[in-house]
Amino acid sequence: MNDLKNIIRYLKEYDGEDIRIMEICGSHTGAIAKNGIEAMLSKKIHLISGPGCPVCVTPSAYIDKLIELSLESDTTVVTFGDLLRVPGSRESLREAQGRGARVKMVYSPMDIIGIAEAAPDQKFVFAAIGFETTTPVYALLLDTLIREKVENVRLLTALKTMPEVVEILCLGGAKIDAFIAPGHVCVVTGSRIFEPAAQKYKMPFVVSGFEGEDLLRTIYLLVENKGEGKVINNYPSVVSYEGNETAQALVNKYFIKSDASWRGIGNVAGSGLLIKPEFSKYDAGSSGLEYDEKKNKACSCDKVIMGLISPEECPLFGKVCNPGNPQGACMVSPEGSCNTRFCIR
């Protein structure tokens, strides 16, 4: 079925078995909300948000380390805006600015080069968080720093990879039947990365773009292929089976597989990347940032991230926890499940 009008009708009138579909990527969560997709679906099609917002899964130990670095007299932390308000175990970067933390916000990690070259007597640390989509950008940054002999920049990394956590989701209690696979992750990795999980758990994964039309077609493909262990590429304009091999090679040059700590999930073996030991002078101390302490003990971000409850089922949602006063990371980022849900209610 290619005609979108027929797809919309099919999804609204679907009366088969209930199907639980997880969108792993935070950008998909936002796009689903923005396009009103849920209202276009039958009550038997359930959409569940997953852990694919890097801000939401960054543990408090990482935020605490950033704050520690930003309070050093000669160091400035450079970051995407999303990370500023994420709670550490005691405070956020923005709150730490009130007691002298030096923090600068940028649009691109590459912007740090010009900033560092303009102040050679100062040190700069980039808060390098992200999934497979963003890691090549950090590899390109490292490559440029080395080539241009920029000596006053380091990275504090919290880089994560998808397949290992998808495995946990498949085994978890959220009873997921199908996945909307993250389109921009697959640009880099290729659609092949989800094949092992699809085949092992007999679940369909559909790689999707971010427009409403893309998502509707993706959900249709997932419903039609429930129980089938296959990966379908519904974003062929930029995603191939192999992915961007230039980007993959650059990532492999500078990074090595490691375990990683996920906020709300814990330590997941092999789900992270660290700067290789031979480039350790560019690492601001990323290893071992594992602990994760909640600012508010009643915060249920961990269950939301795993798809076990909806944001509205958290006792703090919309009360003490809101975008102006986030208690957990899911309420901070515009791609977080709680923030998205709060903004569309």
Partner 1 sequence: MCVANTGKILSIDSEKNTASVDFRGSRVNARMGLADVKVGDRVLVHAGCILQKVSDEQYEEWTALAKELEAD
Instruction: Name, in order, each residue with C-beta under 8 angstroms of 102's C-beta and a sequence gap of 6 or more.
Output: 70, 71, 75, 76, 77
Q: Is 1 in the site for partner 1 (CB under 8 A)?
A: no
The one among 17, 211, 312, 313 contacting partner 1 by CB under 8 A = 211
DSSP state of 234: E
Give the tokens for residue 342. 């709060």
Work out whether strand 255-262 and strand 266-275 pair parallel, antiparallel, or are unpaired: antiparallel
Is residue 53 within 8 A of residue 33, CB to CB? The reply is no
DSSP-assigned states of every residue in 191-217: GGGGHHHHHHHT--EEEE-SSHHHHHH
DSSP string, 100-116: T--EEE-SSTTHHHHHH
3-class DSSP state of 76: strand
Here's the x/- map for partner 1, 126-165, by CB under 8 A: it reads as ---xxx-xx-xx--x--xx---------------------
By the rule CB under 8 A, 5 interacts with partner 1: yes
Binding mask 10-39 for partner 1 (x = CB under 8 A): ---------------xxx------------
Q: What minimum distance in Å lies between the beta carbon of 338 and partner 1? A: 16
Q: Is 204 in the site for partner 1 (CB under 8 A)?
A: no
CB nearer partner 1, residue 249 or residue 344:
249
Cβ proximity to partner 1: between 28 and 46 the closer is 28
Is-contact 70 98, C-beta < 8 A? Answer: no
Q: Identify which range of 11-19, 86-94, 108-116, 302-310 contacts partner 1 by CB under 8 A.
A: 108-116
237 makes contact with partner 1 (CB under 8 A) = yes
Token duo for residue 280: 């350790």
Is the sign of the CA dihedral 316, 322, 326, 331 positive or negative? positive
- Residue in 111, 195, 224, 290 binding partner 1, rule: CB under 8 A: 111
- On whether the CB atoms of residues 58 and 306 are closer than 8 A, the answer is no
Q: Please report whether residue 53 would count as binding partner 1 according to CB under 8 A.
A: yes
**With binding defined as CB under 8 A, does residue 309 bind partner 1?**
no
Q: Please identify which residue in 123, 184, 295, 341 interacts with partner 1, judged by CB under 8 A.
A: 184
Q: Which residues bind partner 1 (CB under 8 A)?
A: 4-5, 25-27, 52-55, 80, 82, 107-111, 129-131, 133-134, 136-137, 140, 143-144, 182, 184-185, 187-188, 209, 211, 213-214, 236-238, 244, 246-247, 250, 333, 335
